[in-house]
């Protein structure tokens, strides 16, 4: 829910002297960015804005120049770790908001008394809080995502000794699951015997999590037979099913594949 809180805070901001809003594509894997063209776009966008202010709002020109220098300095600091795009909002009273995004944006430069967040709101609408569940016979792996990013990872691994599930949460849960997924063939019959009971247990937990986190959709990924069994226990309504095996994919690759499907 972090982005929703951020949006609400931005909506409440107001500065009489002026607020600078920048949407800037910085994806250096893109053909039109490989030579640092984002620097040219940043320079030109800020220059045009300055020319506009000079002709229409001259009393705030010195304030704008001060904020412009600060904004450029903050963006330059990030040049070695640039994402696909970023949003920067800076006010005359010193407030600074920077959001790095793994999605492209439309390059925009605004000077208003309030932040211009319409594009950020549209991105949030297009890429809301969602859950991706990768269902396997002995593992259920969950990715919490929004804005095309991996926010959190949780894996449930079947503990055959105790006939229970072990839960691992946080970045790296995916790697733990992948490393342990190849050692249990001999337990197949035992797994199937208790699978339904624990699918039901996990599904109940996920229904609660989806409500708490405000997920708009749950994506169920995996073999059709396993998904068909798991979905019986979910009460969540907005479910999308993707019958693909992403065992060798990283969490980010799974998010990219699912959101593009």
DSSP codes joined into one string, 105-141 = ---EEEEESS---HHHHHHHHHS-SEEEEEE-SSEEE
Residue 4 banded pLDDT, cuts 50, 70, 90: confident
CA angle 104, 110, 113 (to 5 degrees): 130
pLDDT at 175: 63
Alpha helices in 57-187 (DSSP H): 61-77, 118-126, 173-180
Mean pLDDT of all residues in 208-228: 92
Per the CB < 8 A criterion, the answer to whether 193 and 109 are in contact is: no
User: From CA 227, how far away is CA 137, in angstroms rounded?
Assistant: 10
Per the CB < 8 A criterion, the answer to whether 102 and 147 are in contact is: yes
> What's the pTM value of the predicted model, to 2 decimals?
0.74
Which DSSP string corresponds to 15-57?
Answer: -TT-EEEEEEE--TTSTTTTT-HHHHHHHHHHHHHHHHHHHH-
Set out the domains of the chain in order of their start, with CATH numbers.
Answer: 2-125 (3.30.960.10), 127-260 (3.30.420.60)
pLDDT at 110: 96
Position 239 pLDDT exceeds 60: yes
Q: Give all strands of the β-sheet with 164-169 in edge-to-edge order.
A: 164-169, 149-159, 139-146, 130-135, 217-222, 239-242
Residue 52 banded pLDDT, cuts 50, 70, 90: very high
User: From CA 216, how far away is CA 85, in angstroms rounded?
Assistant: 24
Mean pLDDT of all residues in 38-49: 94
pLDDT at 37: 86
Q: Which of 96, 127, 105, 94 is nearest to 26 (CA)?
A: 105
Look at 260 and 183; give whichever has higher pLDDT: 260
Instruction: Read off the pLDDT of residues 132-154 as tens digits, 9 standing for 90 and up.
Output: 999 987 788 999 998 888 889 99
Instruction: Read off the pLDDT of residues 140-194 as tens digits, 9 standing for 90 and up.
Output: 899 999 888 888 999 888 766 665 556 667 766 656 555 554 444 555 666 666 7
Look at 47 and 33; give whichever has higher pLDDT: 47
Position 69 pLDDT exceeds 60: yes
Look at 196 and 206; give whichever has higher pLDDT: 206
pLDDT at 124: 87
């Amino acid at each position: 829910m972090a982005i929703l809180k951020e949006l609400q805070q931005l909506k409440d901001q107001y500065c009489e002297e002026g607020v600078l809003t920048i949407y800037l594509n910085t994806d250096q894997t893109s053909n039109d960015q490989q030579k640092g063209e984002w620097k040219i776009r940043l320079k030109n966008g800020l220059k045009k804005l300055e020319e506009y202010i000079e002709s229409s709002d001259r009393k705030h020109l010195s304030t704008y120049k001060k904020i412009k220098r600060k904004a450029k300095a903050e963006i330059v600091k990030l040049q070695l770790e640039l994402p696909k795009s970023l949003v920067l909002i800076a006010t005359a009273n010193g407030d600074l908001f920077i959001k790095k995004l793994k999605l492209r944006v439309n390059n925009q430069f605004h000077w208003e008394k309030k932040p211009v967040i319409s594009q950020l709101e549209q991105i949030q609408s297009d890429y809301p809080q969602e859950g991706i569940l990768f269902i396997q016979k002995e593992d259920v792996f969950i990715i919490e995502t929004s804005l095309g990013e991996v926010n959190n990872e949780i894996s449930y691994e079947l503990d055959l000794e105790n006939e229970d599930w072990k839960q691992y949460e946080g970045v790296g849960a995916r790697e733990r699951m992948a490393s342990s997924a190849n050692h249990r063939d001999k337990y197949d019959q035992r797994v199937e015997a208790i699978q339904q009971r624990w699918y039901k247990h996990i599904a109940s937990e996920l229904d609660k999590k989806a409500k708490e986190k405000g997920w708009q959709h749950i994506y169920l990924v995996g073999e059709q037979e396993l998904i068909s069994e798991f979905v019986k226990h979910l009460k969540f309504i907005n479910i999308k099913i993707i019958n693909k095996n992403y065992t060798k994919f990283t969490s980010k690759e799974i998010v990219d594949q699912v959101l593009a499907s």
